[in-house]
Each structure stands twice: as structure tokens, then as C-alpha cells.
Structure 1
Amino acid sequence: MCYFEQTRWPCGYWKWGNFREQCEKEYRTGETCGLKLVYSWQPAQGMCKICEQKCKKERRIYKMMNDISRWQREGNRRATIEKTMQDVNDIQCQINELLATHVERERTL
């Protein structure tokens, strides 16, 4: 039950910060008992790293979908459209994994 700082983002994501205070259960200097408690928390500005990655991937999907619609109007690009659609599906799976990680982290607090 040693005490640590914590950083929290508006989206609910958080991370542990620096060690602050040692509990009475651990007698060795510089060692922690393994249990973490929040000493204090600081709000963070902006988006967490997972939300930033998600936004980047969503912008990439938006660009790919615009490219696909343009290629469909131009014609004669069936293979390119199919490959890009597969890439969009792969990126969407990555976004779903990021969201699952984010939700799991929010629930652990």
C-alpha cells in the first residue's frame, strides 16, 4: 500500500506517476510493497495517447473512403478499391482493439 501520483485525462484514461510515500508495511529503503494507492492526482490536458491514435486512424479511414469514392467515379480501379477496402477493415479492427484497451483501463480504477 505505497502511495503514488496519478495522471488522469478527461476521457477517463489514467496512468501511475512518481512514487510519493512508503507505507509502514515495507521496511526496506527504496522498496515498495507492491500495492499502489493514489497519493494525489493531476488532471491532464488534451487527449490520452490511445485517443490520439484512434483519431489518427479515423482520419486515415476518412481519407481512404474519399479515395475509394473518387476511384469508383473514375472507373478501372477495381483491384485498388478492393485492397483499400481491406485496409479500411484492418484499421477498423485496430480501432476496436484500442477502444477495448481504453475501456479496460477506465474500469480498473
Structure 2
Amino acid sequence: MCYFEMTRWSCGYWKWGNFKQQCNKEYRTGETCGLKLVFDTAYQMDHCKICDTIGKKERRKNKMKDDINRWRREGNRRATIEKTQQDVDDLERQIYDLWETHLEKQRTL
């Protein structure tokens, strides 16, 4: 039951910060007992790094989809469309994995 700082973002994501205070169960200097309690919470009004990364990947995915639609109208770019569609699928998988990580962290609090 040692005390740590905690950072919490407006999106609900959080992370442990620095060690702040030792509890009375641990007598060795510099050691912690293994249980973490919140000493202080620093609230951040912006989004976490995962949300920023998701936003960047979403914008990139939307740009690729717009390009695919434009190329289909123009015609004669089948290989480019197929390659870009594979890239879009990869981005969607990455975005899904990031959301899963984000939601799992929110559920653990």
C-alpha cells in the first residue's frame, strides 16, 4: 500500500506516476510493498497518446479511402487501388488494437 502519483486524461486513460510515499508495511528504504494507492491525481484536459495516435491513423485511413474512391472514378489504377486497400485494412486493424488497449486500461481503474 505504497503511494504513487497518477495521471488521468479527459478520455479516461490513466497511468501511474512517480513513487510518492512509503507505507508502514515496508521497512526497507527505497522498496515498495507492491500495492499501489493513489497519493495525488493530475488531471490532463487533453487526450492521451493513444487517442492522438488513433486520430492520426483515422485521418490517414480517411485520406486513403478518398484516394481509392477518386482512383475508381478515374479508372485504370487497379494495382494501386488493391495496394491502398490492403493498407487501409492494416490501419483498421491497428486502430482496433489501439482501442482495445485503451478500453482495457479504462476498465482496470
Q: Which category describes the TM-score, using the shorter chain as reference length?
A: over 0.9
* Partner residue in 2 for 1:77: 77
Normalising by structure 2, what TM-score? Answer: 0.97
Note the C-alpha offset of 1:50: 0.5
- Work out the CA distance in 1 between the residues paired with 2:5 and 2:93: 33
Q: Does 1:91 align with 2:87?
A: no
Gaps of 5+ in 1: none
The one-character-per-residue Cα deviations of 1:59-98 (angstroms, maximum 9, x if unpaired) are 0001101111111111100111011111101100100000
RMSD: 0.7
Alignment partner, residue 15 of structure 1: 15
Runs of 4+ in structure 1 over 2 Å off:
none
**Deviations 1:22-81, CA, capped at 9 Å, x for gaps:** 011100011111111101101013110110010000000011011111111111001110
Name stretches of at least 5 consecutive residues in structure 2 with no aligned partner.
none
Please give the residue correspondences for 1:1-109 in structure 2 after superposition, counting only pairs within 5 Å: 1-109=1-109
Whichever residue aligns with residue 86 of structure 1, its letter is Q
Q: CA deviation at 1:16?
A: 0.6
